[in-house]
């Protein structure tokens, strides 16, 4: 095939268009804050703080939801008060646009009823839903609805708890890493590494992009902030396993096109694919994640 100056010019134009698209969208995607740990810490600290203080929220008008002979009724009523205070706090605070706060209280409630040994765990969540729909100050809140508060089956609860346990081990390590005694930071770091590697070895993250992102985020934080503190640990802290991904096609090989190869029909389609991928990514990013 003969070399065509016109086609070559068209190819260069299309390539420059792709570059412009990448320049426009990649910075915002690459620099997007993905620190799940910071959101977890803020949500947990807020909830713990509210739970440790005397709660004056009024829930009397909806107490009838829980029959007087219900097991653990007083605790359920206290949870009503906590739910109300927590929901109002985040609904009124415009800085909190993420829905992670809603996911966290759902986990907290699941954890609480298990710790209390309540035999009617699923029914208790029916009470929570009815309360949210009953209370005049809560039922119109759209950031966290009654449908977002639900009972975790044991598998889901275990998986979410494993991630939060990793967060807690990292927080413990980070709190003590600057001290003179390395006993505590080394202990937390070892437990963190063991729990992290156990999850990686199960492979449960491979077909779950959300979980992979969470693991990548905490792995980056640990390696960024912890490496210099771990050199004195005895025995030494094992390395974190790499995060592998499933369904990766490694058969694709690169080719070098000749000067006469016409890219014009291909490159506009590529621009469309790139744009579609970026916008799809942004939409997926807004989904309500458990972590």
What residue spans define the domains of the chain?
36-150, 155-229
Least confident of 10-14, 63-67, 86-90, 239-243: 10-14
pLDDT band, residue 80 (cuts 50/70/90) = very high
Least confident of 64-78, 99-113, 147-161, 225-239: 225-239
Could you tell me which residues come within 8 angstroms of residue 36 by beta carbon, excluding any fewer than 6 positions away?
Answer: 100, 213, 214, 217, 218, 291
Q: Determine what percent of the chain is predicted with pLDDT higher than 90.
A: 46
pLDDT at 288 over 50: no
pLDDT digits (tens, 9 = 90+) for 83-110: 999 999 998 876 656 678 999 999 999 9
pLDDT band, residue 6 (cuts 50/70/90) = low
What does DSSP assign to residue 265?
T
pLDDT digits (tens, 9 = 90+) for 233-273: 888 898 999 998 765 333 333 333 333 334 344 444 444 54
DSSP codes joined into one string, 100-142: HHHHHHHHHHHHHHHHTT-S-HHHHHHHHHHHHHH-TTTTT--
Query: What is the rounded distance in angstroms from the CA atom of residue 117 to the CA atom of residue 281?
Result: 41
Query: What is the rounded distance in angstroms from the CA atom of residue 63 to the CA atom of residue 84?
Result: 13
Least confident of 85-89, 136-140, 203-207: 203-207
Query: What is the rounded distance in angstroms from the CA atom of residue 123 to the CA atom of residue 191?
Result: 35
Query: What is the rounded distance in angstroms from the CA atom of residue 238 to the CA atom of residue 194?
Result: 8
Could you tell me which residues come within 8 angstroms of residue 218 by beta carbon, excluding any fewer than 6 positions away?
Answer: 36, 37, 166, 167, 170, 196
Q: Where is pLDDT greater, at 230 or 94? A: 230
Query: What is the rounded distance in angstroms from the CA atom of residue 215 to the CA atom of residue 212?
Result: 5
């Amino acid at each position: 095939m003969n070399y065509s100056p016109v086609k070559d010019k068209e190819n260069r134009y299309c390539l420059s268009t792709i570059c412009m698209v990448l320049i426009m969208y990649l910075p915002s995607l690459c620099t997007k804050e993905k620190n799940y740990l910071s959101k977890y810490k803020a949500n947990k600290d807020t909830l713990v703080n509210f739970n440790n203080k005397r709660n004056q929220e009024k829930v009397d008008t909806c107490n009838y939801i829980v029959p007087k002979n219900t097991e653990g009724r007083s605790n359920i009523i206290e949870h009503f008060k906590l739910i109300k205070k927590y929901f109002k706090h985040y609904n009124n605070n415009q800085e909190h646009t993420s829905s992670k706060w809603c996911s966290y209280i759902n986990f907290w409630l699941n954890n609480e009823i298990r710790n209390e040994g309540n035999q009617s765990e699923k029914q208790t969540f029916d009470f929570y839903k009815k309360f949210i729909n009953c209370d005049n100050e809560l039922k119109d809140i759209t950031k966290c609805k009654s449908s977002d508060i639900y009972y975790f089956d044991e598998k889901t609860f275990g998986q979410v708890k494993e991630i939060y346990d990793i967060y807690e081990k990292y927080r413990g390590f980070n709190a003590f890493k600057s001290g003179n005694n390395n006993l505590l930071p080394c202990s937390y770091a070892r437990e963190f590494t063991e729990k992290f590697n156990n999850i990686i070895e199960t492979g449960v993250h491979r077909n779950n992009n959300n979980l992979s992102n969470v693991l990548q985020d905490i792995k980056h934080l640990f390696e960024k902030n912890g490496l210099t503190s771990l050199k004195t640990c005895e025995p030494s802290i094992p390395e974190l396993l790499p995060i592998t991904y499933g369904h990766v096609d490694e058969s694709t090989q690169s080719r070098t096109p000749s000067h006469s190869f016409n890219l014009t029909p291909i490159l506009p389609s590529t621009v469309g694919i790139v744009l579609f991928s970026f916008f799809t990514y942004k939409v997926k990013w807004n989904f309500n994640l458990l972590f």
